[in-house]
């Protein structure tokens, strides 16, 4: 795998990006190679290129999000597309319109790409089967968040060249994490070894059937891994009492300065954001020299530009 922009003759055929589970290693690598070509747009004097000129992208967010939505908006505008922002609160969804009606109405206006986030797993897939436009999943239920995992892996590749043989720990509320799932599918496909770390109450059902190792001790795992990926404690999703107290969670599963002393000196510390400082990660670690958290945000833009570009290319190719 290289991200140097080498020539390859790969043809991208998916006009929807619904998840990473279905993608091959070649497809993943093609996205990364393409993203490399988009990186420099953000650094030059005119931060815009014309490949989606005249295309309309709609951000169809049925669930709150700031950074993912902003990142997609910026990615689409840097490709010269027009962007419609559609959020649940300000739309007719709050008046009882169905998902399909909303999508059909937007399609009738002539949109080209729909970026969809929904609290129900499978919603982007459902929309993709009912409209002509390209669909990009920006997070669905506890299923997938493909562009987050793509930007995570791209960030690792920028620091480590290859995923082959890398040991990655994903720590925290795995059960409610689409980020953990998308990363698991893609990282293992690229040859990494993934360990889910967290209390038993926050592990998904039938975790033994997934292609990962499972550990309930961050202390044991931290010494061995190349990457530690801290998930956000999502208070808004946690019903009941999955752990006795926030302090106890921090003590066992928080990435503290003390715990970092046991880690390899070249470990990469990652987090999808937004961070609960002092809870899953201490400020000194989040802002420390091993943290690539802001690189994740930066590369997210190039990766999302690549995804928007590729799904549109597949739609063009389809018309041949």
Q: Which of 69, 118, 145, 181 is catalytic?
A: 145
Query: Would you count residue 51 as binding other proteins (CB under 8 A)?
Result: yes
Q: Where are the alpha helices (DSSP H) in the chain?
A: 25-39, 67-78, 99-108, 123-128, 146-160, 178-189, 218-222, 246-253, 257-260, 283-286, 293-318
Q: Which is nearer to other proteins, 205 or 316 (CB)?
A: 316
Determine whether 60 is exposed, middle or buried from the number of CB atoms within 10 Å of its CB (0-12, 13-18, 19+).
buried
Q: Which of 68, 102, 147, 155 is catalytic?
A: 68
Angle between helices 67-78 and 293-318 (to 10 degrees): 50
Query: Would you count residue 235 as binding other proteins (CB under 8 A)?
Result: no
Residue 160 annotated as catalytic: no
Beta carbon of residue 163, minimum distance to other proteins (angstroms, whole number): 20
Nearest-5° angle of CA 174, CA 179, CA 183?
100
Distance from C-alpha of 304 to C-alpha of 154, rounded to nearest angstrom: 11
138-177 binders of other proteins (CB under 8 A):
none
Beta carbon of residue 69, minimum distance to other proteins (angstroms, whole number): 24
Q: Which is nearer to other proteins, 40 or 159 (CB)?
A: 40
Q: Which is nearer to other proteins, 105 or 317 (CB)?
A: 317
Residue 178 annotated as catalytic: no
Distance from C-alpha of 31 to C-alpha of 261, rounded to nearest angstrom: 35
Contacting range for other proteins; rule: CB under 8 A; set: 43-51, 68-76, 218-226, 231-239: 43-51
Query: Would you count residue 6 as binding other proteins (CB under 8 A)?
Result: yes
Query: Would you count residue 309 as binding other proteins (CB under 8 A)?
Result: yes
- Helix, strand and coil in the chain, % to nearest 5: 40, 15, 45
Contact 310, 34 (CB under 8 A): yes
Give me the residue label for tokens 């649940």: 88
Query: Would you count residue 217 as binding other proteins (CB under 8 A)?
Result: no
10-29 binders of other proteins (CB under 8 A):
10-12
Residue 68 annotated as catalytic: yes
Pick the binder of other proteins from 71, 182, 296, 312 (CB under 8 A). Answer: 312
Contact 281, 230 (CB under 8 A): yes
Beta carbon of residue 80, minimum distance to other proteins (angstroms, whole number): 9
Contacting range for other proteins; rule: CB under 8 A; set: 37-45, 126-134, 135-143, 204-212: 37-45
Residue 284: is the preceding peptide bond cis (ω within 30°)?
A: no
Q: Which is nearer to other proteins, 129 or 319 (CB)?
A: 319
Contacting range for other proteins; rule: CB under 8 A; set: 33-41, 62-70, 189-197, 249-257: 33-41
Residue 188 annotated as catalytic: no
Distance from C-alpha of 3 to C-alpha of 34, rounded to nearest angstrom: 8
Spatial strand order of the sheet with 213-215 comes to 213-215, 193-197, 167-171, 227-230, 268-270
Contacting range for other proteins; rule: CB under 8 A; set: 46-54, 149-157, 180-188, 283-291: 46-54
Cβ atoms within 10 Å of 125's Cβ, excluding its own:
18
Tokens of 243: 């752990």
Beta carbon of residue 133, minimum distance to other proteins (angstroms, whole number): 14
Residue 256 annotated as catalytic: no
Binding residues (CB under 8 A) for other proteins: these are 4-12, 33-34, 36-40, 44-46, 48-51, 54-55, 306, 309, 312-313, 316-317, 319-320
Residues acting as catalytic residues:
67-68, 95, 117, 145
């Amino acid at each position: 795998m290289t991200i140097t922009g080498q020539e390859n003759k790969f043809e991208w055929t998916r006009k929807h990006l619904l998840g990473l589970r279905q993608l091959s290693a070649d497809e993943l690598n093609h996205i990364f190679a393409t993203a490399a070509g988009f990186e420099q747009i953000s650094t030059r004097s005119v931060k815009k290129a014309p490949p989606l000129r005249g295309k309309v992208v709609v951000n169809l967010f049925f669930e709150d999000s700031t950074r993912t939505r902003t990142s997609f908006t910026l990615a689409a505008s840097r490709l010269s597309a027009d962007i419609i922002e559609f959020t649940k609160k300000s739309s007719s969804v709050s008046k009882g319109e169905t998902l399909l009606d909303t999508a059909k109405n937007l399609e009738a206006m002539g949109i080209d790409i729909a970026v969809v986030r929904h609290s129900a797993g499978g919603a982007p897939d459902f929309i993709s089967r009912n409209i002509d436009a390209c669909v990009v999943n920006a997070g669905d239920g506890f299923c997938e968040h493909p562009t987050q995992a793509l930007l995570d892996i791209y960030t690792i590749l920028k620091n480590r060249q290859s995923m082959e043989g890398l040991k990655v720990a994903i720590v925290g509320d795995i059960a409610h994490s689409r980020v953990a799932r998308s990363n698991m599918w893609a990282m293992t496909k690229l040859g990494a070894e993934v360990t889910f770390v967290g209390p038993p109450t926050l592990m998904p059902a039938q975790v033994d059937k997934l292609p990962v190792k499972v550990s309930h001790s961050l202390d044991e795992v931290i010494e061995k891994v190349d990457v530690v990926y801290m998930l956000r404690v999502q208070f808004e999703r946690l019903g009941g009492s999955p752990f006795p107290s926030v302090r106890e969670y921090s003590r066992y599963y928080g990435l503290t300065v003390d715990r970092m002393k046991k880690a390899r000196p070249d470990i990469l510390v990652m987090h999808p954001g937004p961070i609960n400082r002092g809870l899953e990660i201490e400020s000194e670690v989040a802002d420390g020299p091993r943290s690539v958290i802001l690189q994740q945000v930066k590369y997210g833009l190039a990766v999302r530009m690549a995804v928007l570009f590729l799904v549109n290319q597949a739609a063009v190719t389809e018309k041949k």
